[in-house]
Structures are given as C-alpha cells and as structure tokens.
C-alpha cells in the first residue's frame, strides 16, 4: 500500500516521509529523485525548470513496489499514485510567510519562490489531491512551528485511527493578518514582474 506525503517544496515532506517510513517499516520514495534516476520523464520544461513526468511509467513502478511493501511516497503531487493502493495522502502545509523565508534562504530564483508561495497560499496541493482521490483520502497537516517528529506523530496517529475533522481545510487567507497577506501579495507581484534569468 501507499501513504502519500505531499505539499509545496519547503514544507518538510522529505524529512517527515523518511521518519514515517522508518517508524512503520516501509520504504521512503522521493518521487522527484525516482523520476530522474529511472528516467521516468518525457520532456524538460525550461521555463519552469522541471521535468515533465511520464505518469504511466511512474504508476506502474509504484504498483510493483507497493505489492511487496509499504511505500511512503514523498512528492508535491503524491496523488499520482494508483488510487486503489493509496491509504491516505497527507498534505503538509506551512505558513506562507515562513515558507517564503525558507525558500529564499535556499537561494532559489524569485519567480520559483513566488510560484510556490502562491501554490501554498491557495492550497494547490490539497486541491489537486482532493480532485484526484476525493476529500476522504486527503488530510492536511500544519507544520508551522512543529518538528518533523511531531508531524510524523500526527500522521501515524491518523493512520492508526485517530479521527480527523471532515470538511475543514487550512485557508491562509483567513488565518493570516491583512498586513501579512499584503506582504505576500506584494512579493508575488514582484516575483512575476521581475525578468527571469
């Protein structure tokens, strides 16, 4: 079976997925690394600086892997996993202001940073997972101010039956103060108006 750990870059997916896999005796698969190592792509998008994934080959590979062991899939599009094998997808969320600082500290181009901030602000990873798998299969986890171990504890508790409130989603537009939202929107506007290098 497959447990998905999704979210925008910088929310802690890789660290949390590795902990969950270790604690549950599964294997951690970083989908981006897998795609590159196995050549599971059909093209390279120069504008976005990313590979176009061969989804069918990825699904076949994951199906084979999940037949013999638990797979903890780490990807911002974990919903690519074959639906019939997915136990749950956990979308890690992080306050977009914290994410902004984290991604800028990585030295990423501003355009790439703001695309990811915008995706986090709008809950794109959650929306994609819900659209593909249905709302009952997707659980959001706020990682803001929490250690990877604490986030892994929450995921494992849900997998072991802890109830999850239904119909509630993290909405940063209602959580952040107006001045915080304004700062984010200014940064996003700046990022899109800055010429790409």
Question: Residue 89 forms beta bridges with which residues?
Answer: 4, 138
Q: pLDDT digits over 31-51, tens only?
A: 888 887 887 877 777 776 677
Q: Where are the beta strands (DSSP E) in 7-137?
A: 27-30, 41-45, 50-53, 71-74, 86-93
- From the candidate CATH numbers 3.20.20.210, 3.40.50.10680, 3.40.50.300, 3.40.605.10, the one assigned to the domain spanning 2-95+124-170: 3.40.50.300
Q: What is the pLDDT of residues 71-103, one digit of tens each?
A: 998 988 888 888 888 999 999 999 999 999 999
Residue count of the chain? 197
pLDDT of amino acid 39? 79
- Mean pLDDT value of segment 57-61: 86
pLDDT tens, position by position, 119-177: 999 999 999 999 989 998 999 999 999 999 999 999 999 999 988 876 678 999 999 99
Coil vs helix vs strand at 3:
strand
Q: 10 Å Cβ neighbour count for 46?
A: 7
* 97 phi, psi to nearest 5 deg: -70, -40
pLDDT at 197: 54
């Amino acid at each position: 079976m497959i447990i998905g750990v999704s979210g925008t870059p910088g929310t802690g997916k890789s660290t949390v997925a590795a902990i969950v896999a270790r604690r549950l005796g599964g294997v951690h698969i970083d989908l981006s690394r897998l795609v590159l190592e196995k050549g599971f792509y059909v093209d390279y998008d120069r504008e976005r600086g990313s590979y176009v994934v061969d989804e069918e080959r990825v699904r076949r590979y994951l199906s084979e892997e999940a037949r013999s062991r638990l797979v903890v899939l780490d990807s911002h599009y974990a919903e690519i996993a074959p639906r019939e094998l997915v136990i749950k997808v956990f979308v890690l969320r992080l306050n977009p202001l914290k994410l902004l600082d984290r991604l800028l500290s990585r030295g990423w181009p501003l355009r790439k940073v703001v695309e990811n901030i915008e995706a986090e602000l709008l809950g794109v990873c959650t929306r994609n997972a819900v659209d593909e798998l249905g709302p009952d299969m997707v659980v959001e986890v706020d990682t803001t101010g929490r250690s990877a171990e604490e986030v892994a504890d929450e995921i494992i508790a849900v997998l072991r039956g802890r109830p999850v409130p239904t119909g509630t989603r993290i909405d940063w537009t209602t959580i952040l103060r107006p001045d915080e939202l304004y700062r984010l929107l200014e940064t996003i506007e700046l990022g899109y108006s800055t010429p790409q290098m």
